[in-house]
Structure 1
Amino acid sequence: MTCPADLVQLRYAISSQGATIGRDGELVRGLMEGFRAVVERHDQALDPLQEKFSGLSTRQSTTSVTFQPLNYPAGSSAVTPVSLRFDGELGTCRAFLAQCSLVMELQPSFFPSNRSKIAYLITLMSRRALAWVMAVWEQQSAICFSMEGFMAELK
């Protein structure tokens, strides 16, 4: 049988735990309200950005390439000149890479290695894209030896 003193202690312990659980519940509710407020502010800040950038994936690129006829003398080491530059602007990378790939496909003897292809791409970069790629090139990053890796980093 349980003595009355033990029952009093048990009731006090249960009451104390109930109070602690109540305080913890209030804290959790406060945290949830704060979290909801942060999510709401995040959504409000994100909406204008989504509107601004929603058309980028469907916008037509204005990057163009001018191909010269391939009538170089035998033994010439010239590559078809291109008039495009990639400056890092969103939405132009895919077209840039496709057009450079065409040049490389048309003149494979000028691009015997992945490294030569990457070097060619770098010569056609400017501004932000050039600043990024020069840092990568100077560090001799692994992507400077893999055309697939390099293109993946650009996209």
Structure 2
Amino acid sequence: NEGQLVQGLLQRISTPAAPHAVPERYDGSPGMCNSFLMQCTLYITHNPSQFRLETDKVHFVISLLTGRAKEWATALWTVNSAILQSESRFLSQFKAVFGDEWK
């Protein structure tokens, strides 16, 4: 009936999505690359209003880097690399450098 339909819609609208924790920081360890990127993807996907631009997503990932991974990103940032303007290019390069856990 119409009342049940409206009630179902209201329940879906008023039920907030489950919060997702901010991913742990990543230091460049090869064995952790894929799980780090998975956590970032989940967080970004569930918080779309925070990531309207591709560069927002890239900057978020960079903000979680430490150690060797941070040094790599800093080198790209210093030369204003075009890789930083594209999420897909950034992730492709990131995986090429740090993601050899399945090789």
Give the TM-score normalised by structure 2. 0.70
The match for 1:120 among 60, 74, 79 is 60
Unaligned runs of 5+ in 1: 1-68, 71-79
> What is the deviation of 1:125?
0.3
Change (3 A) 1:108 1:115: same
**Which of 20, 25, 34 is equivalent to 1:85?**
25
Which one has the largest radius of gyration? 1
Aligned CA-pair RMSD: 1.4
Q: How many residues align?
A: 78
Candidates 63, 78, 98, aligned match of 2:38: 98
Q: CA deviation at 1:140?
A: 1.1
Where in structure 2 are the equivalents of 1:18-97 lying within 5 Å?
70=19, 81-97=21-37
Q: Report the alpha carbon displacement of residue 83 of structure 1 after superposing the two structures with TM.
A: 4.9
Residue in 1 aligned with 2:90? 150
The one-letter amino acid paired with 1:96 is F
1:133 aligns with 2:61: no
Identity among equivalent positions (%) equals 36
Letter in 2 for 1:108: P
Which structure is richer in relative contact order (CA contacts within 8 A, separation 6 or more)? 2
Structure 2 regions of 5+ residues with no counterpart?
Answer: 1-17, 96-103
Contact 2:23 2:39 in 1 (8 A): no
Q: TM-score, structure 1 length as denominator?
A: 0.47
